[in-house]
Structures are given as C-alpha cells and as structure tokens.
Amino acid sequence: MTTQPSPIHRKARQVKRKHWALIAAATVLPLAVSTGTAVAETPSTGTAAGAACTYTPAVPADNFKGIPVFDAKRAAKPYSATLRTSQGAITFQALTDKAPCTTFSFRFLAEHDYYDRSHCHRLTTQRIFVLQCGDPTGTGSGGPGYSFPDENLEGATYPAGTVAMANAGPNTNGSQFFFVWKDTKLSPAYTPFGRITAGLDVLQKIAAAGEDDQNNPGDGYPNLFVKIRDVRIAKR
C-alpha cells in the first residue's frame, strides 16, 4: 500500500501460552476491537462541546465498573494520566477540550481501577507504529460494557506521542486505546484524546524489542511484557 495503511481497529485475538492467532480477517495491520451487540438499556447522556455525549450499554462487559454519567463541568477540567507499567511510566495530557466524552470515559475507568493489572496486548512495527492497550482480557476483544461516539476526527493526525482510541467501526469506542510511538499515517477514524508528555522513550524501548508473531511479522504480542500496574490521574 503506497499511501496509508488500513484503519486501526481492535483486532480480535486468542492467546495460547504466549502465541496469538488472528481471528478477524484483515489486510494490513488494522487496529480493531471485536465487540458484541449493544443491549437494550437506557443510556446515560450529557452535552459537551455542543454535541451529545452518550454512553450506550454494550457487550462485552469485562471487568465491569459501571457506566459513566457525563458531567460537563467535570469533563472540562484538564488532567494528566500516568500509567505505571512494568516497563516504566507513561504520562499524557488529556485533551479534555477536544475530546470531552472520551477523556471523561478514560478518567472514569482509571478512577475505578479498570485498567489496573491489565497488559498491552498488541505492538505494531511495520507501516503503523502503535502499542495497543486497555483490554482487561488481553485478547483484543474486551470492552467496558458501554460504547460512545467518536470525537476530534476533523483533520486528525497521528504523530509520535498521540494517544487515541481503538474501535470496531464508527462510534464504537470502549476501553481500548493505543499509544503512537513513531509518526504514523492513518485515516482520521480514531479519536485522538491525549498527548504524551513523558515516557515516549519507554514506548520506543518496548517497540525496539519487537513482537512475537511469526505468521504476520510486524503485528503481534510485544516481546517485552507490558503490565499496567495502575493509572494515576492528576488535575492540572
């Protein structure tokens, strides 16, 4: 492919010992999440940046911590998040002004310990350059029990240091996200919601160690195990 790679969707995987087999058929390195069908319940809604912020109940609901109730006043407050991982700390500034629904959801999950003791399940080292995390099942198909719409896509780019949502198609965001460790060309389909302020060197160390997929080189489980010990939110 001469221009840009296939979209990033949360790709479903199965693990047997340390080997990951691709379930979802794809061409080149989609960053995907396999999700189930939304259940029929009343969503919680709010308004941010002139648009509705809606969290719709959905399956799967792994490590379920509940569904956030959007608070526009709290959503507007800036914060940074530090992920303490087994390979070092990564800190990013949340783009609360550009992606309030997304950053509100991330803070909700972090404050409810959703990400604690999970691990990053996917590293890409060819054509797109990301470390994908946020699935407590470690399979690439897990979710928090709700979904919400895309944001901040107009003119979106993905330089090194970007933090963005993985998805299973338009408006299917959940808990999975990715760190961009090297400038990457992607279609503007993945909500950017943070900028790394410290720890890019940690990501580059993880990337340098490579991934273990022999059948699809450049896209697999990171050779350096990346466990998220906890996520700490700091007000700015």
Alpha-carbon 104 to chain mean position: 14
CATH code: domain of residue 113: 2.40.100.10
**Structural domain boundaries enclosing 167:** 13-235
Answer whether residue 2 is part of any domain: no
pLDDT, one tens digit per residue, over 22-69 is: 222 222 344 566 443 233 233 444 434 445 699 999 999 999 999 999
* Contact residues for 178 (Cβ-Cβ < 8 A; gap 6+): 8, 31, 122, 130, 131, 132, 133, 163, 164, 165, 166, 190
For the chain, the average pLDDT equals 83
Q: How many domains does the chain have?
A: 1
pLDDT for the residue 51: 58
Residue pLDDT, tens place only, 132-151: 999 999 999 999 999 999 99
- Inside any domain, residue 4: no
Q: Is residue 186 part of a domain?
A: yes
Tokens of 235: 């007000």
In a domain, 8, yes or no: no
